[in-house]
Amino acid sequence: MTERDALLRAICANPDDDTPRLVYADWLDEHGDRRDRARAGLIRASISIHRGIVPTCNRITGDNVTREGLVSPVKRCRCDWCKLSRRSWMASRSYAGEWRGEALKPIEDERVRQAGQVIRDGGDLRALFATHTPIDVLFRRGFVECLSLTVSDFMGHAGSLCTLSPIAEIRLISNAPMECSPGHAWDRRYPEGRFQFRDFGPWTPGLEFDGNDVPSEIYELMPDAVVLEDDEHLKLYPSRERADESLRHACLMWGRQERDRLWARSAAAAA
């Protein structure tokens, strides 16, 4: 394991702690290239803003927030918030796309392999690309921390994604709990029909889950639910917000479990 890899692992293993990020920023300044030094500046500026520095120019609007969660400053303003934000903005304008690509590399590599196979088979690339749902990311404190993606993309690459970034939030964009009395519920059954009384079992590539259906691995990690006596395949929550929160929590826990398994296998292979 390289020194860079060890520092990144410390960040991913301690996503709530700023110290490993600042240590990494120092290392990038000492050992990195121009892009690395820009990343170091982004990390420091983002952490300072996250710790509570607020704008004093009173000219910040919601229009200044980009899709990547990076904030544009007011031109020529000298307040601390705008100075830090300008530093973040300049770094992200040049390199945010590359950093995003690095964070999503397992998914992007899989999509490239799929495209290569379709080309070799003489298939329709447009049909393949139509199945590739866009993935949204959110940068916080210098790293991708939030992912919005499909169940298939997440389940196929959760561990790898969590070894590359300090993921703190997962949003499954194709899933929503079903409304039922007296709240909202997640279902652990086959997508073809609620009334097939069989578990999903372990997730397998190519099997997508929509609506209120979730894989067993995620279902088992959902906290604070009421399991109905007459339907053990449903987990019921009093509100949509609680149901969504439980899904995000379970996805994050499972991703981190998969991350730890990958690290353990890597350590065993190196021993």
Q: Is the pLDDT of residue 64 over 60?
A: no
Q: Is the pLDDT of residue 196 over 50?
A: no
* Predicted confidence (pLDDT) per residue in 159-175, tens digit: 999 999 999 999 988 78
How many residues are there in the chain?
271
Q: Is the pLDDT of residue 68 over 90?
A: no
Cis bond upstream, residue 15 (ω within 30): no
Name the band, by pLDDT with cuts 50, 70 and 90, for residue 189. Answer: low
Q: Which residues pair with 183 in a beta bridge?
A: 180
Q: Share the mean pLDDT of the chain.
A: 81
> Which residue would you say has higher pLDDT here, 98 or 233?
98
Question: What are the backbone dihedrals phi and psi of residue 145, each rounded to the nearest 5 degrees, phi first?
Answer: -115, -20
**What confidence score (pLDDT) does residue 228 get?**
64
Question: What are the backbone dihedrals phi and psi of residue 66, each rounded to the nearest 5 degrees, phi first?
Answer: -90, 170
The residue assigned the tokens 């820009």 is 38
136-140, strands of its sheet edge to edge? 136-140, 143-149, 169-172
Is the separation of the CB atoms in 59 and 41 below 8 Å? no
Nearest to 266 by CA among 160, 113, 134, 145: 160
pTM over 0.75? The answer is yes
Name the band, by pLDDT with cuts 50, 70 and 90, for residue 74. Answer: low
Q: Is the pLDDT of residue 71 over 70?
A: no
Using DSSP's 3-state secondary structure scheme, residue 63 falls into: helix
Integer Cα distance of 22 and 7 in angstroms: 10
* Predicted confidence (pLDDT) per residue in 11-30, tens digit: 999 999 999 999 999 999 99
Q: How many CB atoms lie within 10 A of CB 65?
A: 12
> Which residue would you say has higher pLDDT here, 227 or 201?
227
Q: How many CB atoms lie within 10 A of CB 38?
A: 22
**What confidence score (pLDDT) does residue 163 get?**
97
**What confidence score (pLDDT) does residue 200 get?**
40
Integer Cα distance of 192 and 195 in angstroms: 9
Structural domain boundaries in the chain? 3-94, 104-133, 135-271
**What confidence score (pLDDT) does residue 53 get?**
67
* Predicted confidence (pLDDT) per residue in 114-165, tens digit: 999 999 999 998 888 888 888 999 999 999 999 999 888 898 899 999 999 9
**What confidence score (pLDDT) does residue 70 get?**
40
